[in-house]
């Protein structure tokens, strides 16, 4: 498991800009408007000698005026509880405020190693200002200007020193599983049977199973073979709505680990409770999976509780088709972890989804398909009296399959037409069980 480094501070100290600089690409929105970042953003980043998970958080404010600010603070607190090292960012150009000291108190109570950063020190004349930050209680601050990319090497050295002090071994970008291994994550709400499914698949009690929601607190990874394929299956903590977490900081830490498992997976199995049907929280987890472009298989567990299997199955399929109408490509598999039913089918569907993510379509076939799709439904949206046109398509990536369409006026393509093209693409070439990306340029 890679270490987690969380960037925190009050609003508008430049956390997202710093996040992007450490990441080496623009991932988080940068803005002078305080409070632009609300949710935490997490992704892998390569430092000098380490690979880590880097987390950007919303600005922490303790005088919340509305629910959004309070939720933002809660998200930041989840990141703090789940982190190995904290990067505490303050605005080096401004006088310390009560909120800076409140954040400092919060970090001291967490007990996490903290690297203090004085951001926005854009020239040598400002460097002395970092010495005004000793009263925060974290020692010497690292002077940086995230905007101008100065001080980054020194900051990375401090972060890696903190990781070394924790005894965390340097983890470079090393592939620890053989090529072709299917990374499969089990996600879902608490108590839907994720741990039971893992145990049933590997044939042993590898994860604690309990009727008490929240029993699983960290990711449990298991390697196994099935039908000539190698898998790594990850059981995760149940993901509840933030409002349901209360003060259970260990569970908040577990949720952060669970969300991280999405990024580590090729195909995510969203486990649903047959008895409960589809809930809003299931839809929320789906949005996380789609945002990261992963493969997705729906698994309805606890079919052993069905009184009339044919009737109950038809009811659940109808419910799932309605609630997941935006996911017509996601397969639905019925399983019973208790009885062991449907698990071989589940693994087979996951393997198919993995293969679909690797599929590459020749450019000639794509352009023949595009010409046919456009002939049946032309794009609308003209400019200066000129009709919009899509002039070609090529595939530019896999995992997920990604396509670039050369378009005359890409900004004027209606979302319904983009959806039309994706549906026609899937009808022709498949991609069942995986997200696809269509980019218009």
CATH of range 182-357; options 3.40.50.300, 3.30.230.10, 3.40.1390.40, 3.40.50.80: 3.40.50.300
Q: What pLDDT band is residue 122 in, cutting at 50, 70 and 90?
A: confident
pLDDT recorded at residue 79: 79
Domain 4-165: state its class: alpha beta
Is residue 68 within 8 A of residue 21, CB to CB? The reply is: no
Q: What is the arithmetic mean of pLDDT over 371-391?
A: 83
Ordered by start, the domain boundaries in the chain are: 4-165, 182-357, 363-440
pLDDT recorded at residue 209: 38
156: closest CA among 5, 336, 367, 307?
Answer: 5
Quick one: 203 exposed, middle or buried, by C-beta within 10 A (0-12, 13-18, 19+)? exposed
Give phi and psi for 415, each to the nearest 5. -60, -30
pLDDT recorded at residue 256: 61
- Quickly count: other Cβ atoms within 10 Å of residue 157's Cβ: 15
Q: What is the arithmetic mean of pLDDT over 100-126?
A: 88
Contacts (Cβ under 8 Å, ≥6 apart) of 433: 267, 295, 296, 297, 329, 330, 331, 349, 350, 352, 353, 356
342: closest CA among 297, 307, 299, 278?
Answer: 299
pLDDT mean across residues, the chain: 83
Find the length of the chain.
441
Q: What is the arithmetic mean of pLDDT over 383-407?
A: 89
- Quickly count: other Cβ atoms within 10 Å of residue 208's Cβ: 13
Higher pLDDT, 378 or 382: 378
Statement: residue 244 has pLDDT above 60: no
Whole-number Å distance between alpha carbons of 126 and 26: 26
Q: What is the pLDDT of residues 404-441, one digit of tens each?
A: 999 998 888 889 999 999 999 999 999 999 999 999 99
Q: What is the DSSP string of 109-137?
A: HHT--EEEEEE---SGGGGGGGGGGGGGS
Whole-number Å distance between alpha carbons of 39 and 60: 11
Helices (H), 292-414: 309-323, 343-357, 363-376
Statement: residue 338 has pLDDT above 70: yes
pLDDT recorded at residue 267: 96
Q: Can you read off the two tokens belonging to residue 248?
A: 């259970």
pLDDT recorded at residue 132: 80
Q: What is the pLDDT of residues 200-229, one digit of tens each?
A: 888 754 433 334 344 333 345 677 889 999
Q: Which three-class secondary structure string do you get for 18-59?
A: HHHHHHCCCCCCCCCCCCCCCCCEEEEEECCCCEEEEEECCC
Give the CATH superfamily of 363-440. K homology (KH) domain (3.30.300.20)
Do the domains 363-440 and 182-357 match in fold? no
Q: Can you read off the two tokens belonging to residue 395?
A: 């595939």
Q: What is the pLDDT of residues 162-205, one digit of tens each?
A: 999 998 866 555 445 678 899 999 988 888 888 889 888 887 54
Q: Is residue 296 helix, strand or coil?
A: strand
Q: Can you read off the two tokens belonging to residue 94?
A: 């401004």
pLDDT recorded at residue 366: 97
Percent of the residues in the chain that have a pLDDT greater than 90, as a whole number? 45
pLDDT recorded at residue 35: 46
Q: State the pTM of this model.
A: 0.59
Q: What pLDDT band is residue 343 in, cutting at 50, 70 and 90?
A: very high
pLDDT recorded at residue 416: 92
Is residue 334 within 8 A of residue 342, CB to CB? The reply is: yes
Q: What is the pLDDT of residues 136-169, one digit of tens each?
A: 999 889 999 988 888 999 999 999 999 999 988 6
Q: What is the arithmetic mean of pLDDT over 317-326?
A: 94
pLDDT recorded at residue 39: 46
DSSP 8-state symbol, 266: S
Whole-number Å distance between alpha carbons of 386 and 409: 9
Quick one: 62 exposed, middle or buried, by C-beta within 10 A (0-12, 13-18, 19+)? middle
Whole-number Å distance between alpha carbons of 334 and 425: 27
Q: Can you read off the two tokens belonging to residue 57?
A: 């958080």
Q: What is the arithmetic mean of pLDDT over 7-22?
A: 89
């Amino acid at each position: 498991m890679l270490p987690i480094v969380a960037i925190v501070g009050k609003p508008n100290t430049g956390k997202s800009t710093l996040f992007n600089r450490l990441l080496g690409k623009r991932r988080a929105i940068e803005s002078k408007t305080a409070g632009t970042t609300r949710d935490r953003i997490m992704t892998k980043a390569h430092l000098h000698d380490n690979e880590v998970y880097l987390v950007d958080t919303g600005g922490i404010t303790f005088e919340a005026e509305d629910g959004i600010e309070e939720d933002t603070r809660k998200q930041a607190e989840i990141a703090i509880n789940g982190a190995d090292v904290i990067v505490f960012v303050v605005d080096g150009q401004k006088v310390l405020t009560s909120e800076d000291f409140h954040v400092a108190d919060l970090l001291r109570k967490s007990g996490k190693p903290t690297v203090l950063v004085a951001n926005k020190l854009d020239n040598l004349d400002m460097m002395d200002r970092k010495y005004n930050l000793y009263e925060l209680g974290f020692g010497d601050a690292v002077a940086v200007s995230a905007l101008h990319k100065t001080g980054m090497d020194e900051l990375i050295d401090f972060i890696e020193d903190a990781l070394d002090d924790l005894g965390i071994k340097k983890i470079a970008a090393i592939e620890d599983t053989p090529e072709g291994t299917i990374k499969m994550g089990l996600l879902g709400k608490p108590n839907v049977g994720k741990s039971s499914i893992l145990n049933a698949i590997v044939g042993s009690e590898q994860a604690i199973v309990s009727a008490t929601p929240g029993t699983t607190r960290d990711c449990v990874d298991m390697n196994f073979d099935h039908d000539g394929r190698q898998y790594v299956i990850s059981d995760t903590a149940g993901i509840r709505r933030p409002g349901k977490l209360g003060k259970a900081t260990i569970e908040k830490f577990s949720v952060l680990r669970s969300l991280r498992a999405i990024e580590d997976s090729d195909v995510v199995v969203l486990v649903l409770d047959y008895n409960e049907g589809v809930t809003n929280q299931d839809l929320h987890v789906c949005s996380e999976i789609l945002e990261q472009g992963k493969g997705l298989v729906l698994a309805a567990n606890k079919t052993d509780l069905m009184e009339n299997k044919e009737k109950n199955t038809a009811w659940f399929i109808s419910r799932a088709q309605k609630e997941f109408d935006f996911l017509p490509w996601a397969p639905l598999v019925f399983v019973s972890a208790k009885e062991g039913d449907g698990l071989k089918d589940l693994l087979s569907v996951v393997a198919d989804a993995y293969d679909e993510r690797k599929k590459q379509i020749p450019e000639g076939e794509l352009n023949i398909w595009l010409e046919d799709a456009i002939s049946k439904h032309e794009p609308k949206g003209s400019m200066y009296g000129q009709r919009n046109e899509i002039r070609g398509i090529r595939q530019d990536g896999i995992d997920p399959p990604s396509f670039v369409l050369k378009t005359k006026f890409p900004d004027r393509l209606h979302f319904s037409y983009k959806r039309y093209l994706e549906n026609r693409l899937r009808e022709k070439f498949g991609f069942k069980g995986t997200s696809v990306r269509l980019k218009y340029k």
